[in-house]
């Protein structure tokens, strides 16, 4: 006698295996999404860096420090059309610091410029620290500054 279809046991076995595979894959999916978000932030940093260098070349000085999520005065024309100082739940801020004693490794360099990145997503910030290959990064779990050379 030939039978048609699947038994209940066979169907439950297949669903159990699918549930197990899904449980194994979902945490990896979250990690991949976080790394993709961090890669987008690094790309935005590169855009801001190039715009700041363009302002420096054009005007002879770095843009002034802006507020959280605000494009600094004079930098808007150097950025691509529609570029915002936010990306999802991440906010950017252009910063300049004057160091009277200079940098520890280079006392003659008294100005530090960078992009401050802030997000409440600690996983994103940790992933950003791993991906960043610039000269210096410092900050906390929710706010980090990526220095421009």
pTM confidence score: 0.78
Q: pLDDT tens across 16-29, in order?
A: 999 998 888 887 88
Q: pLDDT tens across 93-127, in order?
A: 999 888 777 666 666 667 888 999 999 999 999 99
Q: Domain ranges in the chain?
A: 8-148
CA separation for the pair 60, 30 (Å, rounded): 44
**What is the number of other CB atoms lying within 10 angstroms of the CB of residue 52?**
23
pLDDT at residue 4, as a whole number: 79
CA separation for the pair 28, 147 (Å, rounded): 30
Phi, psi at residue 9, to the nearest 5°?
-65, -45
Average pLDDT, the chain: 87
């Amino acid at each position: 006698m030939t039978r048609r279809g699947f038994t209940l046991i066979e169907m439950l076995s297949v669903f159990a295996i699918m549930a197990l595979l899904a449980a194994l894959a979902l945490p990896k999916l979250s990690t991949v999404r976080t790394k993709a978000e961090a890669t987008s932030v690094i790309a935005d940093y590169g855009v801001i860096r190039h715009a700041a260098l363009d302002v420096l070349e054009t005007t002879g000085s770095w843009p002034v420090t802006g507020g959280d999520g605000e494009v600094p005065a004079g930098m808007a024309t150097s950025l691509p059309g529609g570029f915002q100082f936010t990306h999802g739940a991440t906010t950017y801020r252009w910063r300049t610091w004057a160091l009277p004693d200079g940098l520890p490794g280079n006392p003659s360099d008294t100005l530090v410029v960078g992009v401050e990145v802030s997000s409440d997503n600690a996983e994103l910030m940790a992933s950003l620290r791993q991906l960043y290959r610039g000269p210096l990064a410092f900050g906390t779990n929710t706010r980090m500054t990526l220095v421009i050379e």
